Amino acid sequence: MTAVETGVKSVLITEEEIRSAVKKCGEEISQKYSGKKVLLVGILKGSFVFISDLAREITIPCEIDFMAASSYGSSTVSSGSVNITRDIASDLSGYSVIIAEDILDSGNTLSKIKKILLERNPDSLEIIVLLDKPERRTADIEPDKALFKIPDKFVVGYGLDFNEQYRNLKYVGEL
């Protein structure tokens, strides 16, 4: 599907650029966490494409789990109120936890999730985001790694949606 066919204003990050960055990130994780017990935590729904591609690029054993949180609903602006709708289980002692998130925008969701997971005593916790939108940050949080930094535009594709549409696009585009 082309941007014109979907109503997307412009393509910001191509499928090829995403594929290359995810591959490199998987290689870095494999080297950094070799010999460690790794848990990838995806934040649903937006991260499902990113975490599945990332997991396939990681060459060391890792476990995968998911949390779900919402603050957008059918709006293009976060409500500021984060609701955890799916949590992962229990104690994370002994795990190197890597949160794989689609976008870091206001930071409210990731701040809450980071706090929850740190209370479960992981050996380490790292936040990797596909997209970082620092202009919108209201919470005191930064990613450990961002594959792409983007301007303050509402984006869709590669898992990101507007009102549950556009997640299946292979690129990231401005709506």
**Active-site position among 53, 102, 105, 132:** 105
Structure tokens at 67: 């949390």
Which residues have a Cβ under 8 Å from the Cβ of 29 and sit 6 or more positions away? 38, 54, 58, 60, 98, 128
Cβ atoms 131, 110 nearer than 8 A = no
Q: How far are the Cα atoms of 20, 28, 39, 88, 157 from residue 2, in angstroms, in the given order?
A: 20, 32, 35, 37, 12
Q: Is 65 a known active-site residue?
A: no
Q: Count CB atoms within 10 A of the CB of residue 80.
A: 10
Structure tokens at 162: 């507007």
At 132 the three-state DSSP class reads strand
Comparing CA positions, the residue from 96, 67, 98, 94 lying closest to residue 83 is 67
Positions annotated as catalytic residues are 105
